[in-house]
Chain A
Amino acid sequence: MMRARVFVFVVATLAGALPAGAQTPSTQPGATTEVSERFSRSSHLDANGAFDLINLHGNIVITAGSGRDVTIEAVKRVQRPNPNAARALLQTIDIQVVEEANRIEVRTSYPRPRNFPGSVDFTITVPADATVSVRATGGGIRATGIRVEALRTVAGDIDLVDASADQFATASAVSGNVTVRGLKASAIQLTTVSGNVRVDNSRAARLMARAVSGDVEYAGELSRSGRYELVSHSGDVRLLLSGATGFDVQANSFSGTVQSDFPITRRGRGGEGNGRGAATPRAIRGAFGDASAMLVLRAFSGNVSITRR
């Protein structure tokens, strides 16, 4: 049952309403004035709570901290030729913070019309055991040390460093790179349409990494019994492996090449036998070592490679 202590703060950003709301105008080249305003809040979050953020435009930096508080530092910005209009528009950006004992939700909202000339940059610290979910429209997301559930942006890069997830972690961009280092989760899903996906030194029982027009790269050790699916349509798919985990592999490219540094015991219609991947330029099916991990590597017009790191 939800605890009775529920506070809802709707931060009406009227002039002077914010303690950290000093407006800072600055003139940009081309006679555009940028007006900015700081927003600050700190809220307690119970153990294993959840932190959720929706932002429209602006960059987001989230870091895991040692305390039990969520600290939110934000800078709202508006750029307009007319300084008075810029100041007035700044007041229409709302940062809504909904606090519950085990969940904090933050959401920015802008008014119509849609081509709003503003943005909000966030710098956030969350407890290390908080589960984080972020959805952004325009802007990058950089998260370090957090327990991640989902990071999504339309236009911007995602950098996820030394994070973990109890079960399922996902990061997706439409136009941007998705870079993950040191992520530990049961299942990881990373996707982008126009951008690259790179996974470095991460551990998961299941990994799906997918791009349409960019490259997909996995570097590091394979988990025993792990399943890895790396797919790109027109980009390259690269596996840079360290460690001694064996794997079963299905690697294909329609019009690119497929090559492996590892001696693959081939199977399929061609029969069994030892051979280098280069012997079959567009497809390798077979096993290396104990075949304990499963790899599905696929590119349509890009190249597929499995190399030693």
Chain B
Amino acid sequence: MNCETYENQLGDYVDGARASGLPGDARLAAFERHLAGCARCQALVADFTSIRGAAARLEEHVPPPRLWTRVAASIGEPQQRPWWRRPLAGAFPSWAPVAVAVSLALLIAGATWLAWTQEPAAAPHEAVGAPAEPDTAPAEEHYEAAIAGLEQLAAWQDASLDADTRAVLKQNLAVLDRAISESRAALADEPADALAQESLLDALDTKVTLLQDTVALAADADAGSDDAAGAAKELNQ
């Protein structure tokens, strides 16, 4: 028999199972005899035992509440909703490729962020002498790409929003830009600071959300205003 025959028994053996001489353990006993003379399986058992031990020592990571709330939100987006309750989707089908591109960028950014947050992070200001934190640059790049795409969409739709709304959105984008700048400045001083990294990604994430809302608002305004447009243009002098 070759090594592949014993895959199941190898796992059981690493988990602590040993042949007892009972009829049900015949395959495990055969594996133990095979193991005694097989360097490959001995190496596998050693590796798996090491991995098992390391896994048992890992600190438990609990997903942040924000992750759960987003998952819950995405679950609650069934197609039977009216179109205007579905952000972006269906509102302007001709832009679907752009929206897909932006979504992909966000997906990658999200995956990058998740991968980053899964790394054991030092508490802020406890990082002196500790291994350097993972770089936020890959996540930043993806966020920036998403922001650039959304800003383009928002610029195309800008005229659809009234001046007051545009001003509020502009002011708040400036607030977010300040937060981004402050976080980047903090990272320049303390590149390994986990809080500065998280603040930067938070601000970028919020900016993406605000730009998405801006585009959706503009689409709403367009959809609701076409009918009476001509008459009002003359009246609103």
Contacts and interface: CB of A to CB of B under 8 A. Distances in A.
Interface string B135-168: 0000000000000000000000001111111001
A108 B232 CA distance: 15
B176 interface: yes
A174 B69 contact: no
B4 interface: no
A229 B163 contact: no
Interface stretch (B7-15, B31-39, B222-230): B222-230
Interface string A144-155: 000001001011
Contacts of B194: 252
Contact of B69 (A107, A189, A250): A189
Contacts of B172: 174-175, 193-194, 212
B90 interface: no
Range for the number of chain B residues in contact with chain A = 35 or more
Interface string A126-163: 00000001010110000000000100101100000000
Contacts of A101: none
Nearest to A10: B227
A182 B209 CA distance: 27
A86 to B, nearest CB: 9
Interface in B207-231: 209-210, 213, 217, 220-221, 223-225, 227-229, 231
Nearest to A269: B126
Given A109-B227, A114-B162, A154 B168 contact: yes
B169 to A, nearest CB: 7
Interface in A182-238: 186-189, 191, 193-194, 206-208, 210, 212-213, 227-229, 231, 233-234
Contacts of A213: 175, 179
A300 interface: yes
B235 to A, nearest CB: 5
Contact of B176 (A103, A108, A113, A212): A212
A147 to B, nearest CB: 13
Given A116-B162, A194-B175, A208-B65, A109 B228 contact: yes
Q: Interface of chain A, helix or strand or loop or mixed?
A: strand
Contacts of A174: 168-169, 172, 210, 213
Nearest to B163: A115
A54 interface: yes
B236 A85 contact: yes
B236 A116 contact: yes
A89 B236 contact: yes
B56 interface: no
A57 B199 CA distance: 33
A301 interface: yes
A300 B213 contact: no
A212 B209 CA distance: 13
Given A110-B225, A113-B233, A283 B124 contact: yes
B142 to A, nearest CB: 21
Report, nearest first, the 4 A-B pairs whose CB atoms are least far apart: A109-B224, A111-B232, A111-B228, A229-B65
6 contacts: A54-B220, A113-B236, A189-B69, A206-B68, A229-B64, A269-B130
Given A57-B162, A233-B182, 7 more contacts: A108-B224, A114-B159, A175-B171, A189-B73, A193-B206, A269-B130, A282-B125
